[in-house]
Structure 1
Amino acid sequence: MPSSYLWLIPLLPFAGFLINGTLGRKLPRAAVTAIALLFTAIPAALVAWLWTTMKAAGAPESITIISRPWIAITGFHVDFAFTVDHLTLLMLGVVTGVGFLIHLYSAGYMAHEEGYWRYFAYLNLFMFFMLVLVLSSSFLLLFVGWEGVGLASYLLIGFYFQKDSAANAGKKAFIVNRIGDFGFLLAMFLIVSHFGSLDFHQVFNHIAANPQWQGGTLTIIALLLVVGAAGKSAQIPLYVWLPDAMEGPTPVSALIHAATMVTAGIYMVARCHVLFDRSTTALTVVAIIGAATAIFAACIGMVQHDIKRVLAYSTVSQLGYMFLACGVGAYTAGIFHLLTHAFFKALLFLAAGSVIHALSGEQDMRNMGGLRKRIPVTFWTMTMGVIAIAGIPPWAGFFSKDEILYQAFISPNPLGKLLWAVGLLTAGMTSFYMFRLWFKTFFGPEHFDEHPADNHASHAAGHDDAQAAHPHGVHESPAIMTVPLAILAILSVIGGWVGVPAALGGHNEIEHFLEPVFTSGTAEAVTTVANHSLELGLAAVSVLIALAGFGLAYAFYYKKPGTADAIAEKAPALYRLLENKFYIDEIYQATIVTPLQMFSRLILGGLVDAGLVGGSASLAGATTRGLSSVARLIQSGNIRSYAGWLALGAAAVLVVMIFGRAIWQH
């Protein structure tokens, strides 16, 4: 593929944003849809072409194109350049492939929404910035995409800006991510100071050429990058924005908070593996944050009632798994789980959107039930996603999750066995709460009102992101929504087969594919081959744990539906703690938000604004008024008054001249 075509991959979505953003209000919806889909489909086709080119015999391991020098000053140079290696290629496939399916689904899901053109303009803008982030060949250009996806996510999360909850969720996401971005900025300042460059190739080659560099400044840089990654990939303590981001339309959740934006932190850590490998402290911090986030979010997800919030906390938990993988040095396993997670989590969010669509906006699982025969396509496709995330073979999630657990167990990290145990327990909890969602949504008696009286009014007021009310009751979504579900369901089944390890009779193709990027791939492969029996034993344990999670969900929510409520009544304090998400939002509000607001009102608003700024303005006004009073006396319009002032002025001049000369001579 000629390198000149590479620029079209990000530029076409940007062109779609410009056209729909400026002209979309006047265009028919069919034209808006065609523009949004076409300018997403072509980049996906270009990525497929690029994939075949780079997989061909004798193809280069990476392609770099440079437009022109971006910043060129004495001692510092940054090019506006894109680089495609095997890691970039995999990420491009996820972003453009899954992104196109979500665009297609959105055309049906958002069909009756006001601001249809605005929605697709924002969606294309997000695709542009995410592709820039992935293609960037320097920290600086990556940061441009990094900030851009933050802006686009703010716009999409707050799409229903007339709802206070949506507007607040957008602001929350934007502000929390700025905290992480501050860490990223500090890391870039240190990189420039230490290496004199922000180019990935130059920085990483400099590190590789100096094997004696360990810890120290590299640890500080790595930890600051972790702060940025924790914000973007919703890790403790900066995870709080992602569950509230469910206020945006459901396809937005599938695109941003499952397949693309939230994986940016994982991608950045993996891209900087040369740096992280020189700091055991930074890797341990990454692993601990990942494990803690995984089990913490899983605990909350077990008791949530909103179908989208269950999936939101599931996303936080699965991102913790990816962090855990990177923390134990298993970057390939982390990227593998990023790939499979993109398939089954996008499927789960879109299937949840289909459920919400069928129920005209209902998101509370307590008001669902018995839907498997009403919406059979949604039921079967979502079933594929639930089994995949639960980690049951041969679905995709089993292979990627199991690889992470295995790599944690054999890791030289002293905490490796503990991290494995936390990951294993989280896997069981994940299976439990996902099958809980499955049973409560599709089985048991129907708890919904098939013909809600106020559907149209509720929808018009912006109370939900589902489609307009259905006068004919609950029914399956249109083909434009179910076709993407079917494709993602197939990928959720077979998508993990590219990583079947040798212990299970496979060749772990994804490990070989990413080996040119991650130099540790060969070592991992040797270790895996030498421990077939251990790997099989650990896989058997993880499958049993997943089945145990299914068994508990079956007993609690199908066989004896009142069991869970009875247990909750026996431990009300624990249940309330989980249901209220450990009161983290309340703690942040009391310890951070409220003090900052008080500081802003009292110090900035009172002392600085009212006192210093307002006082200065008042003093300037009083001075002006005083001078104007004197000026009014002078400019009276009375000729005799003017003569008097003239005489007084002449006398003053004479006095100054006489006494001034005397003083000067003295």
Structure 2
Amino acid sequence: MFTEMHSLYEWAWVIPALPFLSFLLIAFVTKRSKGLSAAVSILAILCAFGLAIAIAVGVIGSGSEIVKHPVITSINWLDISGLKLNFGTVVDPLSTMMLFVVGLVASMVQIYSVGYMHGDRGWSRYFAYQSLFAMSMLGLVIATNLLELFIFWELVGLCSYLLIGFWYHKVSAREAAKKAFMTTRVGDFGLLLGILFLYGKYGTLDFVHLAALMNGTAQGFALAGGVGYITLTAFLLFVGPIGKSGQFPLHVWLPDAMEGPTPVSALIHAATMVVAGVFLVARIYFIFQHAAPGALEFVAGLGAFTAIFAATIAIAQDDIKRILAYSTLSQLGYMMFALGVGSLTASMFHLMTHAFFKALMFLGAGSVIHALHEKQNIWDMGGLWKKMPITGTTFAIGVLAISGIPPFAGFWSKDEILSAALQNGHPIIYAVGLFTAFLTAFYMGRLFFVAFMGPEKKENHPHESPYWMTVPLIVLAFFSTVGGLVALPYHNFAYYVRNYVSVNGVVSLEAFAHEGMAWGLAGISVLFGLAGLVLAYMTYVTETIKAEAVAARFPGVYKLLKNKYYIDEIYLWLIHNIMDGVGKVLYWFDIHIIDGVINGLALVTRGGAGGLRRVHTGQLQTYALVFFLAVVVVFLAYTMGTGQVSALNPLAMLGGVK
């Protein structure tokens, strides 16, 4: 089976090539035809998704062979003295899972967009950007080396900028796009430094070769400059995922990314940009394992802090999309701390299930916004479940999945993360994750009960969305329901991801043994999730607990959470008072010191040139006279110096006597 599918794996490059081709066709051929542009974009991503499914079937059927021998296809891109670079594709369990997830979500988002973007003036431009976005992420996940990955990484950032600011006529959209672009550039600078550090010591950026060199032997560590050098490199590389995956303190761009069209939010938050950082850490996990323990501890600690930090903010937000945005930040924190506690499997598993239910909820939010004519405040909604049964039911599935309620997808992956934290000796992180699970269930229950089960607003006249929008919701709801069940049998796709070992050096140096469900720990996490939903029901449906009374009881805490811990304000203060102040000092130094020195040199040069200009008349007789006088002066100076002529007796110069 493995040999038979080998030729198919070599065609993996076609998967990102198809949406790229559709981008070119829309940009240069079909942009004047809205229908044709959408058809080209959707057909391309569906074909790419179909090929991804075929590769996934082959990987599952190949058993352990694909684990031991990932299929790498590459061509030489650059070969000069001291620098050899290859570009290609790698097919292994990790890349196969990502191809499936990105292909599925991108396909559903493209189909959904036909209904959501109906009548928009930038229709063709939107589908061109979406195609380029999908190509960038698909290319990123099958990259064979860090430079190739970095190129697609930057393309993902460019596409997010273009799509967040898609409605560029809105000032808020333009500013949000610039904020996302600049914030992630901070992280990308650290990533680039890490890449240079790696190449400077190893002379290669290929994942397989790097893993082979960093094999834990004395020679490998000596080549790398020791554990300290690897640790520094790991920290630099991790700065990129901090920005891309919205980890504190570079999280501020992600909520503002909601200014783009809602389908864009679904793609960014579920399967493309924000999970690129988590994927990168997973892909270069062997570097973190060779680094000092502090590297993974830092990843775990920052992830856990981001998870609870974002969850506490979400409970006080009122915009439906911003609640989901902070939910994404929190779930990304879960994925990161799963990597930090040593469970690559749990992190990737949660990345997959999260893509299903988060895309579902963002598209569900878009369906609501579409029905209510751009209203996004949950307090302007109410009673939507009756008027929008498909949207309401599918959204409820998403809420149950993210709350960790069995048998929905989020239960299986979130339980595995919490179990890994406790079993691998991180009880504090486990406690943080458990409390975050409670907060997640509470704020998602709050959103659902207020928007879908609250009192109807007479001014609203909601209606169910068209099939272009509801069919993708149903598909994603299906995967949000059964997507986690792959954790049950031994011989399945998750099993091969779980047991992916370092013999090939692509993902991990640790062989993850297949463990059964820790049902006791799972039961505890389910109870916390149910407690959060019950508390939300008592607060916003039965009103046994008055939300206004709680806010009045703790006004300082409520104001702090409502204003997102004033992180944006702190950044603005730092920019206006520190950066602008430093800029003013540097400006004064430039004007008065640097310019003074340069202008002084210019004045000296100009003065000297003015003096020299006066002795250049262009008349030959003047030059002859000056030359003669100069000879006389030189002669007099010489003779007077030797004492042969008396300057007081000019007759002596004529041969006379005293």
Q: SS in structure 2 opposite 1:5?
A: coil
Instruction: Pick the aligned partner of 1:401 from 394, 414, 417.
Output: 414
Aligned to 2:100: 93
- Structure 1 residues 610 and 144 mapped into 2: Cα distance closer, same or farther (>3 Å)? farther
Aligned pairs (5 A) from 1:589-604: 589-592=572-575, 594-600=577-583, 603-604=586-587
Q: CA deviation at 1:123?
A: 1.0
SS of corresponding position for 2:384: coil
- Please say if 1:102 is aligned against 2:109: yes
Residues 518-529 of structure 1 mapped to structure 2, 5 A cutoff: 518-519=501-502, 524-525=512-513, 528-529=515-516
Name 2:237's counterpart in structure 1.
225
Q: Give how far 1:67 is off.
A: 2.4
Match of 2:553 among 540, 562, 570: 570
Deviation at 1:661, TM superposition (A): 5.0
Match of 1:334 among 336, 344, 347: 347
2:556 is matched by which residue type in structure 1?
Answer: A
1:273 equivalent in alignment to 2:279: no
**Which of residues 452, 456, 480 in structure 2 aligns to 1:446?**
456
1:417 matches 2:427? yes
Q: Distance in 2 between matches of 1:561 and 1:21?
A: 56
Matched, 1:124 2:131: yes
Q: What amino acid does structure 2 have at the position aligned with 1:179?
A: V
Whole-Å separation in 1 of the counterparts to 2:137 and 2:490: 31
Instruction: Kindly report which structure 2 residues correspond to 1:345-356, keeping only aligned pairs within 5 A, or say none.
Output: 345-356=358-369
Match of 1:498 among 483, 486, 492: 486
Change (3 A) 1:20 1:448: farther
Partner of 1:392: 405
Q: Distance in 1 between matches of 2:269 and 2:578?
A: 30
Counterpart of 1:652 (choices 599, 622, 630) is 622
Q: What does 1:30-429 correspond to in 2, within 5 Å? A: 30-57=35-62, 60=66, 61-68=69-76, 70-208=77-215, 210=217, 213=221, 215-279=227-291, 280-412=293-425, 416-429=426-439
* Alpha-carbon spacing, 1:226–1:310, altered in 2? closer, same or farther (3 Å): same
Which range moved further: 93-102 or 338-347? 93-102
What does residue range 484-633 of structure 1 map to in structure 2 within 5 Å? 484-500=472-488, 506-507=489-490, 509-515=492-498, 517-519=500-502, 524-525=512-513, 528-529=515-516, 535-560=518-543, 563-592=546-575, 594-600=577-583, 603-604=586-587, 608=590
Identity %: 44
User: How far off is 1:561 after superposition?
Assistant: 7.4
Indicate the structure (1 or 2) with the bigger Cα radius of gyration: 2
Q: Distance in 1 between matches of 2:183 and 2:616?
A: 68
Does the 8 A contact of 1:9 with 1:131 survive in 2? yes
After alignment, is 478-487 or 33-42 more displaced?
33-42
| CA distance 1:488–1:609, shift in 2 (3 Å) | farther
Does the 8 A contact of 1:187 with 1:221 survive in 2?
yes
Residue 20 of structure 1 is matched in structure 2 by 26
| Alpha-carbon distance in structure 2 between the residues aligned to 1:143 and 1:664 | 72
CA offset at residue 276 of structure 1? 1.0
User: Which residue identity is paired with 2:286?
Assistant: V
| Contact map agreement 2:499 2:513 (CA 8 A) in 1 | no
Match of 1:80, SS state, is: strand
The alpha-carbon distance between structure 1 residues 614 and 96, as it changes in their structure 2 partners (threshold 3 A), is farther
Contact 2:23 2:129 in 1 (8 A): yes
TM-aligned CA distance change 1:662 to 1:265, over 3 Å = farther
For 1:98-130, what per-residue CA distance to the aligned partner results, in whole angstroms no more than 9, with x for missing partners? 111101111110111121111111111111211
Q: How many correspondences in the alignment?
A: 615
1:76–1:613 distance in 2 versus 1, CA, 3 Å: same
- State the Cα deviation string for residues 437-474 of structure 1 (Å, max 9, x = none): 00010112123623xxxxxxxxxxxxxxxxxxxxxx42
Distance 1:392-1:610 versus aligned 2 partners, 3 A rule: farther
Q: In the alignment, is the contact (CA less than 8 A) between 1:499 and 1:508 conserved in 2?
A: no
What's 1:461 paired with? none
Q: After TM superposition, give the deviation of residue 610 of structure 1 in Å.
A: 9.5
More moved, 194-203 vs 561-570: 561-570
Deviation at 1:353, TM superposition (A): 0.3
Deviation digits for residues 534-583 of structure 1 (CA, Å, limit 9, x no counterpart): x2211111111011001100000000177111110111111000000000
- Secondary structure of the residue aligned to 1:77 is strand
Q: Distance in 2 between matches of 1:538 and 1:575?
A: 32
User: Does structure 2 retain, via aligned residues, the 8 Å contact 1:259–1:345?
Assistant: no
How many angstroms apart in 2 are the aligned matches of 1:398 and 1:121? 36
Cα displacement string for residues 71-102 of structure 1 (whole angstroms, at most 9, x for unaligned residues): 32333321122212110111111111111110
Contact map agreement 2:498 2:512 (CA 8 A) in 1: no
Query: Secondary structure of 1:264's match?
Result: helix
Q: Which letter does structure 2 place at the counterpart of 1:130?
A: M
Residues 389, 654 of structure 1: alpha-carbon distance in 2 compared, 3 angstrom cutoff: same
* Partner Cα separation in structure 1 for residue 230 and residue 112 of structure 2: 44
Q: Deviations over 1:205-263 (max 9, x none)?
A: 11126268473111111111111111111001111110111111100110012222111
DSSP-derived class of the 2:619 partner: helix
Structure 1 residue runs of 5 or longer lacking an equivalent are 451-472, 501-505, 635-644
In the aligned structure 2, how far is the partner of 1:553 from the partner of 1:508? 39
The question of whether the paired residues in 2 share the 8 Å contact of 1:366 and 1:447 is answered with no
State the distance in 1 between where 2:616 and 2:411 align: 99
Q: Displacement, 1:135?
A: 1.2
Gaps in structure 2 of 5+ consecutive residues:
1-6, 503-507, 639-658
| Closer, same or farther: CA 559–82 of 1 in aligned 2, 3 Å | same
- Displacement, 1:525? 2.6
SS in 2 for 1:6: coil
State the alpha-carbon separation in 1 of the partners of residues 446 and 410 from structure 2: 18
Please say if residues 515 and 521 of structure 1, whose CA atoms lie closer than 8 Å, have aligned partners that are also in contact: no
Instruction: Please tell me whether the aligned partners of residues 354 and 410 of structure 2 are also in contact (alpha carbons under 8 angstroms).
Output: yes
Distance 1:618 1:115 in 2: 55
Distance 1:116 1:610 in 2: 53
Q: What's the CA shift for 1:622?
A: 14
Letter of the 1:175 counterpart = M
Coordinate RMSD, CA, aligned: 2.9
For residues 95 and 618 of structure 1, the distance between their equivalents in structure 2, rounded to whole angstroms, comes to 62
Distance 1:663 1:198 in 2: 73
Cα deviation for residue 163 of structure 1 reads 1.3
* Post-superposition offset of 1:2: 3.7
Contact 1:180 1:230 in 2 (8 A): yes
**Counterparts in 2 of 1:89 and 1:371: CA distance versus 1, 3 Å:** same
C-alpha distance in 2 between matches for 1:618 and 1:647: 28
Q: Deviations along 1:295-345, whole A, 9 cap, x unmatched?
A: 000000001000000000000000000001000110000000000000000
**Aligned-partner Cα distance in 2 for 1:156–1:594:** 32
| Counterparts of 1:340 and 1:243, CA distance in 2 | 21
- Displacement, 1:194? 1.8
Give the counterpart letter for 2:462 in structure 1.
Answer: V
CA positional deviation for 1:510: 4.3
Do the aligned partners of residues 208 and 364 (structure 1) sit closer, same or farther apart at CA in structure 2, a change above 3 Å counting? same
Task: Report how far residue 374 of structure 1 moved.
Answer: 0.9
Aligned match of 1:639: none
Contact 1:130 1:146 in 2 (8 A): yes
Q: Is the 1:408–1:417 Cα contact (8 Å) retained in structure 2?
A: yes
CA pair 201-4 structure 1, distance change in 2 beyond 3 A: closer
Q: TM-score, normalised by structure 1?
A: 0.87
The answer (yes or no) to whether the contact 1:376–1:476 under 8 Å persists in 2 is yes
Residues 501 and 511 of structure 2 are in contact (CA less than 8 Å); yes or no, is this contact kept in structure 1?
Answer: no
